[in-house]
Amino acid sequence: MLKIELKQRRNRVFRGLIIPRAPVDECVPENVMKRRQWIPALMLAVLAGIATFFLIPKSLAEMSRQDLLAEAQAGKVRRVVIVDGDVVEGVSARLGPFRVMLKPDDRTLVDELKAMGVTVRFEKTPLGLI
């Protein structure tokens, strides 16, 4: 008797006709509900991946010390920046942006570059949070 009353409460009346209305749990299977919960998380992950791809800077091409001197002698390098005394960064007219890792005891590179007419600038990177 109780089931009949509950079913009658779930039904709605439309112009005198009784149209049964199924509960929400019976309309959508459980596996579909679980799948729908993953859709926003998947969309967020895809958006984060796209943003990361475009926002992370591209790494510079590695060049040896000899290649840097050859480019400078050919007049393809006009300016370089020495960062923290470890890395020489610059742009070559032929090869594009580059980076050269310096040895700790390399003191003659700056003089050689200046003798070839290359402008040398020194920079220090600020300390990060980590």
Return the domain boundaries, the chain.
2-55, 61-123
Measured distance CA(99)–CA(23) in Å, rounded: 66
pLDDT at residue 57, rounded to an integer: 81
- pLDDT of 16 > 90? The answer is no
pTM above 0.85, yes or no: no
How far CA 61 is from CA of 14, 77, 86, in Å, comes to 73, 14, 16
pLDDT in tens, 71-121: 999 999 999 999 888 889 999 988 899 999 988 888 888 899 999 999 999
Residue carrying the six token digits 């509950």: 6
Average pLDDT of the chain, as a whole number:
79
Estimate to the nearest angstrom the gap between the alpha carbon of 28 and the chain centroid: 38
Measured distance CA(62)–CA(98) in Å, rounded: 6
pLDDT at residue 47, rounded to an integer: 93
61-123: CATH number: 3.30.720.210
